Amino acid sequence: MLYFSKLRIIFITIFSFLFILIASSNLFKFDDSFFNKKINLGLDLQGGSYLLLEIDNEPVIEQKLQNLTTTFRNFFKDKDIKLNNIKIDNQNIFFNVNEENKQKVIDIFKDENSEINPYYPRFKSHQLEIEDLGFNLKINFSRQGLIKLKTSSQDQAIEIVRRRVDEVGTNEPNILKRGNSRILVELPGLDDPTRIKSLLGKTANLTFRFVTQNDEDRFGVEKLEYEDGTPPVNVSKRIIISGENLLDAQPKMDTQNNQTIVSFTLDRVGAKRFGKATSTGIGKQLAIVLDGKIISAPVVRDTIASGAGQISGGFTFQSATDLALLLRSGALPAPLEIIEERTVGPDLGQDSINAGMIALSIGFLLVIVFMFVKYRFFGLITNFTLIINLFILLGVLTLFEATLTLPGIAGIILTVGMAVDANVLIFERIKEELKDEKNNILAFDGGYTKSRTAIIDANITTLLAAVILFFMGSGPVKGFAVTLGVGIFTTLFSVYFIARLFTSLYVTKNKNNGKLI
Amino acid sequence: MIAFNKYYNHFNVLSSALIVISLLLLIFKGLNFGIDFKGGTLIELRSTDTKINVSSLRDKFSQMKLGDVSVKKFGSDNDFLIKFENKDNKKNIIEEIKINLDKSFGNNYDFRRVENVGPKVSAELLKSGVIAISLSLAIMLIYIWVRFEWQFSLGAILALFHDVIVTLGVFSLFSLEINLSIIAAVLTIVGYSMNDTVVIFDRVRENLRKYSDIKIFELTNISINETLSRTIITSATTLLALLAIYFFGGEILKGFSLAMILGVVFGTYSSIYIANTVLVRLRVSQKTVLREDDSN
């Protein structure tokens, strides 16, 4: 165990220096891109906001089922089958058909190449499940159907979230999917997420619809409230134009009455529809509805054919800016709810870094002094190894551009405390060997060999705990698992290569000087 | 040589009592779950005005009707930690609070940290925390079962349960908060306790092979003594590192490092007085380890 070939010594030296160099790239600037890596600081250290959003898919499912009923009705009409008493209840569609057509309808839904019930060829599961309840038929989304629906609404939502966050202009936001109905937003450096939260909290579903007096509109009528508390009015369900028709929206100052407004331009289809509606509807009130509330309902005075218009509604400049931003970035497919929020101010982050560094220095110092007092020369070897170990650990974290969190720093300090364990196991074993063995070389060799199983066992148990923590933990705790786990490998390397190398050099030179430890 | 084995019975009684007391505490008093596992809102507030203190903050917050509110000093004199249930899960609660506080305190305060955990997320975090701890215990059990004979596994696992239960018992007794970092600490304790036990067991097994005429009662004592200086040095350096975190690492790491300190102390104790006594009680002998060798 004490013999090292020259090649091995060179390898160990190069390896150690390489990682020390990589670790030091956190302090200096290298031009070379390989050395230009840095350890990322977690949100708890650099300050910032962590928001976990959940998509409320219920309205999406309802809407989708609503659309499907129309599709089914038309599809079966062509086949001369009439669907009766169609109703949607609790995410199910119920309907009746004549007894002689029942099996036919079920067969169409269960056909592997069904036109109206897709997915089977690809997923071996249909989008929809049909069940014969005797008096009527029930249709609902299959598991696969629901998953597809959720992932597609997640795909849309994450795009809109990204646009909104980008528009606000925070630095390097991190927007990720979580599961199939959640979105994680990390905003480094942002210490007040109020505005982002309010922007993400709005679906921004914009529609222009006429206010009607009679309840007998062909498309149906609903009573809607005003944003500012004006008594509610009846609004037709017919949508003249919606947010999808907008090309651009900007906040503006209306010079005539000194009001902040949002001006918008429409796409070709929208302009055409808007022009037609304003020409036939002169004198009527056109309600501008955002997320089910009326912003304002101006009276149409002229035909607007240019495809440009404006929304007024007693905005402040800030609220007009936000509305314009929401309209530009588009509507979310479903409402989002913020189910977890963690925000750390930058000064607390800095305080945590300072405290972590002080604790690390003091912990390190205590361990070093303790080891020196206990083992003298071999304590020095252990301490030197510990320093290199620390650099290699930082080097590995830098190389993988790992994220360092406050618990992560605790993991490093803990590694310092536990790293000496392997060396202690070896030294104590050597001491025992020296009781019966006069030959220093043989005693040291025996010490290394006989302590090996205990060292490996002991490190594997800690590593197992770190791995579980890595997969089960979240955020800052994950950072702890990373430093603890990586620390085990760097510790074993530095104990078995660096410390052993120095020990072997010393022992071979002083083999005849009596008991060395 | 220290006669550890003289006190095997005494400490077994003590450990059993500690476990029973801890379990009773956990069942009847329960744990003080933080917002990570209970849901709710946490605000760390720093003031620059002496008018802002625990009682004035408590007044202000209880006026806002946020459910259960707790206000505590947090480290220094002008830092406060405010926690409340946020029962109705109100959306813009933080903004409302700011407006309210502005009225009374002006600009003389600052939110340094805000955490808001919804009921769904907290339930999930609790579930994954429990799974993580159970999983780690299970994996340790499998590992030790593969590496050692079953008598050793039983000893190690009992020691492990002892450490986890008693550490949680202390947290229950003093109503210390359980949050995500405590789960991390408990998992690390599991790793550390196992580590400590394994090192002694390794020596016990080695000695069992070496000496056929020494009874397990003596043999465990010899093994404990042989590994004693390692046990002391490693726990000492680990404790030094943890004490540094506890005293200098800031308020956020206090609970974590305290849990770890307790765990290291209990872990070291249990390796000696629980793990080994199980071997004695199960009458482990040279045959136990040799039989295993034959079958391999």
Instruction: Please answer yes or no on whether A477 and B226 come within 8 Å at the CB atom.
Output: no
Contacts of residue A315, defined as CB under 8 A and 6 or more positions apart, other chains included, come to A251, A259, A260, A261, A262, A323
Q: How far is CA B16 from the centre of its chain?
A: 18
Is residue B236 within 8 angstroms of chain A, CB to CB? Answer: yes
Both structure tokens of A27: 């302090």
DSSP-derived secondary structure letter, A299: B
Work out the widest C-alpha separation in chain B, in whole angstroms.
82
Is residue B92 within 8 angstroms of chain A, CB to CB? Answer: yes
* B163 and B274 housed in the same domain: yes
**CATH annotation of A6-43+345-509:** 1.20.1640.10
Q: How far is CA B17 from the centre of its chain?
A: 19
* B113 and B153 housed in the same domain: no
Residues B258, B176: Cα–Cα separation, whole Å: 10
> Would you kindly state where each structural domain of chain A is located, as residue ranges?
6-43+345-509, 49-55+147-200, 206-342
* B250 and B153 housed in the same domain: yes
Residues A384, A413: Cα–Cα separation, whole Å: 16
Residues A222, A236: Cα–Cα separation, whole Å: 6
* B89 and B214 housed in the same domain: no
Q: What is the DSSP string of A225-240?
A: EETT-PPPEEEES--S
Provide ipTM, 2 decimals. 0.90
User: Topology of domain A49-55+147-200, per CATH?
Assistant: Alpha-Beta Plaits (3.30.70)
Both structure tokens of A248: 């651009």
Domain end (from B117, B148, B175): B117
Contacts of residue A90, defined as CB under 8 A and 6 or more positions apart, other chains included, come to none
Burial A486-497 (b: 16+ CB within 10 A, else e): bbbebbbbbbbb
Residues A491, B238: Cα–Cα separation, whole Å: 14
* B70 and B83 housed in the same domain: yes
Contact A289, A295 (CB under 8 A): yes
Q: With contacts defined as CB-CB under 8 Å, which chain B residues touch A462?
A: 188, 191-192, 194-195
Instruction: Please answer yes or no on whether B257 and A370 come within 8 Å at the CB atom.
Output: no
**CATH annotation of A206-342:** 3.30.1360.200
CA of A462 vs chain B CAs: smallest distance (Å): 4
Instruction: Please answer yes or no on whether A469 and B132 come within 8 Å at the CB atom.
Output: yes
Give the one of A345, A407, A465 whose C-beta lies nearest to B112's C-beta.
A345
Of all residues in chain A, the one with the smallest CA distance to B197 is A458
Residues A192, A426: Cα–Cα separation, whole Å: 53
Residues A271, B34: Cα–Cα separation, whole Å: 55
Region of B138 (left: φ > 0; alpha: ψ -120 to 50; beta: rest) is alpha
* B21 and B49 housed in the same domain: no
Instruction: Please answer yes or no on whether A342 and B116 come within 8 Å at the CB atom.
Output: yes
Of all residues in chain B, the one with the smallest CA distance to A194 is B95
* B164 and B217 housed in the same domain: yes
Neighbours of A121 (CB within 10 A): 9
pLDDT digits (tens, 9 = 90+) for B173-213: 999 999 999 998 998 999 899 989 999 999 999 999 989 88
The CATH number linked to B112 is 3.30.70.260
Strands A403-404 and A40-41: parallel
* B69 and B204 housed in the same domain: no
Instruction: Please answer yes or no on whether B250 and A356 come within 8 Å at the CB atom.
Output: yes
Q: Is A288 helix (H, G, I), strand (E, B) or coil?
A: strand
Both structure tokens of B285: 């002998």
Instruction: Please answer yes or no on whether B202 and A457 come within 8 Å at the CB atom.
Output: yes
Both structure tokens of A159: 């795009």
User: What residues make up the domain containing B47?
Assistant: 40-117
CA of B205 vs chain A CAs: smallest distance (Å): 11
* B108 and B173 housed in the same domain: no
The CATH number linked to B132 is 1.20.1640.10
* B10 and B53 housed in the same domain: no
Instruction: Please answer yes or no on whether A472 and B131 come within 8 Å at the CB atom.
Output: yes
Instruction: Please answer yes or no on whether B241 and A424 come within 8 Å at the CB atom.
Output: no
Both structure tokens of A169: 């202009």
CA of A53 vs chain B CAs: smallest distance (Å): 11
Written as tens digits, the pLDDT of chain A (517 aa) is 678 888 889 999 999 999 888 888 887 766 666 667 788 899 999 999 999 999 999 988 988 898 888 888 888 888 888 888 888 888 899 988 888 888 888 888 888 888 888 888 888 888 998 888 888 889 999 998 999 999 999 999 999 999 999 988 777 899 999 999 999 999 998 888 888 998 898 899 999 999 987 766 677 888 899 988 888 899 988 889 998 899 999 998 888 888 899 999 999 999 999 999 899 888 889 999 999 899 999 999 888 888 888 898 888 888 899 999 999 998 898 999 999 999 999 899 999 999 999 999 999 999 999 999 999 999 999 999 999 999 999 999 999 889 999 999 999 998 998 889 999 999 999 999 998 888 889 999 999 999 998 899 889 988 998 999 999 887 788 889 999 999 999 999 999 999 999 999 999 898 888 888 7
Q: With contacts defined as CB-CB under 8 Å, which chain A residues touch B78?
A: none
* Counted domains in chain B: 2
Q: Is B249 helix (H, G, I), strand (E, B) or coil?
A: coil
